[in-house]
Amino acid sequence: MKIAINVPFVGKEEIAAVTSILKNGALTSAANQGGKHVQSFEKSASLFIKSKYVVAVNSGTAALQAALYALDIKKGDEVLVPSFTFVATANSVVSTGAKPVFVDILKENYTMDPDDLQKKITKKTKAIMPVHLYGNVVFIDRILEIAKKHNLPIIEDSAQSLGSTYKGKHAGTFSDLGCWSMYPAKVMTSGEGGFVATNDKNLRDRLLMIRNHGMVHGYDTRIFGLNLRLPEISAAIATIQMKKLPNFLKLRKKNASLLSKLISDLDIILPKQRNHENVNWYLYTIATSNRDKIIKKLNTKGIGAASYYPTPVHKTPFYKQKIKLPNTEWASSHVLSLPIHPRVTTKNIEFIAKTLRDILNE
């Protein structure tokens, strides 16, 4: 028995859509509005997250880059980011010439600590980029207050949080710009892909140009841009996956609920939802001592437990910063995630729970 931490869930509909596009030959479009399937996906995503505008791009990283470019973040600027995240968050900032300034997290849900955020703001700070990690929604009320006080825009890194809500509002839609990923391991996929959401028409118009070399009508580059376009094949897959997303989320919630029930008495820290929060259960993440030893034993039993993230970004060889982020360092050595994706069965969940119990009771 092998239970992967996350796998794409694609079916006959996606295969048929890809085949149809390949036969048709219209694989991409350099039009300002994008191709037929790109526009269809953007409309469906916009309706789902309840945002006025969605602009599709070719990765979650590209979404972050496009958002930063849209706000004209550049060399000499600072952007506040957590270190406890995938490196793409910081890399997107570096790609603009700006400097990522690392903020600690809260142990409560592994997202940006508003108090530490407040302390890190300087005259060079030009944006705040919190991450809704594992599907957990950041303490957005406090972060919005801080941003308003200092007149700073927010880019929500929502790569892992599609479908998560707080007070009925989707993560990624609280601020100027929200960015999502459609990597194969996410709650839905386009193969590779991402999108940016905004309610600001001017930002939307800039994003459309940015994803297409700054052009509007072709060969009329008006602002800096790159080829960040989402291919039609990827957009068609994403459109179908978007229809399936509510059921994907329902199955994840069911699996998470069952797993929590089965391991609630163990000496570990379980993931919990805050009041008014509805997480998408992208990663079911617990915290425990002897984390590495437990992961190894779970893996030996065929359970794809994994650590996200054992090395905080500020400690990677590229960034290598000697700063103190105590909660980040604690989390990086204590958290592990367990499989609960839609292909995980009730029998699988029971096996995961029993195996974890046996390991902890050794």
Q: Tell me the longest C-alpha to C-alpha distance in the chain.
A: 67
End-of-domain residue from the set 240, 265, 296: 240
- Reading the block at residue 237, the tokens are 């897959």
- Reading the block at residue 48, the tokens are 């789902």
Residue 301 lies in a domain: yes
**Residue 37 and residue 14: Cα distance in Å, rounded?**
13
Q: Is the pLDDT of residue 358 over 80?
A: yes
pLDDT of residue 272: 94
pLDDT of residue 303: 98
Can you give the residue range of the structural domain that contains 270?
245-360
Closest by CA position to 15, among listed 183, 192, 247, 233: 233
Do residue 116 and residue 35 come from a single domain?
A: yes
Q: Is the pLDDT of residue 1 over 80?
A: no
By three-state DSSP, how is residue 253 classified? helix
- CATH number (domain holding residue 263): 3.90.1150.10
Per-residue confidence band for 362, with pLDDT thresholds at 50, 70 and 90: confident
Do residue 153 and residue 233 come from a single domain?
A: yes
List CB contacts of 73: < 8 A, sequence separation 6 or more.
Answer: 79, 93, 96, 98, 126, 127
End-of-domain residue from the set 220, 240, 260: 240
Tens digits of residue pLDDT in 111-158: 999 999 999 999 999 999 999 999 999 999 999 999 999 999 999 999
Domain count, the chain: 2
Each as own residue / partner, the long-range contacts of residues 216-223 (CB below 8 Å, 24 or more positions apart, any chain) are: 216/32, 217/32, 218/30, 223/69
Residue 175 lies in a domain: yes
Tens digits of residue pLDDT in 248-263: 999 999 999 999 999 9
List CB contacts of 188: < 8 A, sequence separation 6 or more.
Answer: 162, 182, 238, 241, 242, 244, 245, 248
Do residue 220 and residue 350 come from a single domain?
A: no
